[in-house]
């Protein structure tokens, strides 16, 4: 087992040798070996003994704590990488405006390319005028990004492209699911609730990889600086929003894997998944990021979790060896 999601509440997790013993109300629910475990995501309120936390640290297990509704709270970082040279290079490159603009063009260009590629895939299944229009408009946006010389211009193109893309994405949804555009904190509808949750999961994975390599995850090149935000991880998230999270949500909705009655609104304008929807989402997310496929550009077999790692390595190589960054392109 590589990933452990702790969804139940009121659990007590203790250590027995090299295994986790999960108990609730004094009853043992499960024992899980730590060997091979790479990440733990904890929802809501649960108790971990200090022996368990030491075991995670000794084995380099990445641990993230989320609210019961899936919003990121904090992370347990076993040990900062000793790669001080990478952090020096990152800080140096951040001060080079030309580099930030160049990387911003690549990241946003890849994001829009991947959004367009997803729409093209679904256009074959459902003939919708809005999708045709969006595909053409996103092609023009990609060209505009290539020609942009300032970060504000790149961000403006990205925002305009996002509005076009999400309008087209909404037209592809079936079974009564709709949304009027990207909204979050809070999410007003089931689609936005799943988008936010999926982006949180991918960002968490990329953050863990970056911390292991020695990056300063808060120093982003495209997203810049904001207190408490893992801006660099959000930079790399852009390449994976459409092919991983958005595609997963289209599958869950259109194949009726999730239903509208699996969401609740505790407060006006604040939509959340119930426990059944949460478990369904996590099971399918794991399948999506670990299922092997052949990458068209290289003809090699891979999976998205490996691609998360590859892109982190590519960014490290860009900073340390002055190599051109290669973004992930979805086809």
- The annotation status of 9 as a binding-site residue, yes or no, is no
Q: Token pair for residue 194?
A: 């799943």
C-alpha 244/C-alpha 149 separation (Å) is 29
72 bridge partner residues: 66
- The annotation status of 303 as a binding-site residue, yes or no, is no
C-alpha 170/C-alpha 249 separation (Å) is 11
C-alpha 324/C-alpha 145 separation (Å) is 17
C-alpha 128/C-alpha 122 separation (Å) is 10
C-alpha 321/C-alpha 48 separation (Å) is 41
C-alpha 173/C-alpha 251 separation (Å) is 9
Written as one string, the DSSP assignment of 3-66 is EEEE-SSSEEEEEETTEEEEEETTEEEEEEE-TT--EEEEESS-EE-HHHHHHHHHTT-EEEEE
- The annotation status of 12 as a binding-site residue, yes or no, is no
The answer to whether the beta carbons of residues 110 and 98 sit under 8 Å apart is no
Instruction: Specify binding-site residues for Mn(2+).
Output: 158, 223, 238
Instruction: Specify binding-site residues.
Output: 158, 223, 238
């Amino acid at each position: 087992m590589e990933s452990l999601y702790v969804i139940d509440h009121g659990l007590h997790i203790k250590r027995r040798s090299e295994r986790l013993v999960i108990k609730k109300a004094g009853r043992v629910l499960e024992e899980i070996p730590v060997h091979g475990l790479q990440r733990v995501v904890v929802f809501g309120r649960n108790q971990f003994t200090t022996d368990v936390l030491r075991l995670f640290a000794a084995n380099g297990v990445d641990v993230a704590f989320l609210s019961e509704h899936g919003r990121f709270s904090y992370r347990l970082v076993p040990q900062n990488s000793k790669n001080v040279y990478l952090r020096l290079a990152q800080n140096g490159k951040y001060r080079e405006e030309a580099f930030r603009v160049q990387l911003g063009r690549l990241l946003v260009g890849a994001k829009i390319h991947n959004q367009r590629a997803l729409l093209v895939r679904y256009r074959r299944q459902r003939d919708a005028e809005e999708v045709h229009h969006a595909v053409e408009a996103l092609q023009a946006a990609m060209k505009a990004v290539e020609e942009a010389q300032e970060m504000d211009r790149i961000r403006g193109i990205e925002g305009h492209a996002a509005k076009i893309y999400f309008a087209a994405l909404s037209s592809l949804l079936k079974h009564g699911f709709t949304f009027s555009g990207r909204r979050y904190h809070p999410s007003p509808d089931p689609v936005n609730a799943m988008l936010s949750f999926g982006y949180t999961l991918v960002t968490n994975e990329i953050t863990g990889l970056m911390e292991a390599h020695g990056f300063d995850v808060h120093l982003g090149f495209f997203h810049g600086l904001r207190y408490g935000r893992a801006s660099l991880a959000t930079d790399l998230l852009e390449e994976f929003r459409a092919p991983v999270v958005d595609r997963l949500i289209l599958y869950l909705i259109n194949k009726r894997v999730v239903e509208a009655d699996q969401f609740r609104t505790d407060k006006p304008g604040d939509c959340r998944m119930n426990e059944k929807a949460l478990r369904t989402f996590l099971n399918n997310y794991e399948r999506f990021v670990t299922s092997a496929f052949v990458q068209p550009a290289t003809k090699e077999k891979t999976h998205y979790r490996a691609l998360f790692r590859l892109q982190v390595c590519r960014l490290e190589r860009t900073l340390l060896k002055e190599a051109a960054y290669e973004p992930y392109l979805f086809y």
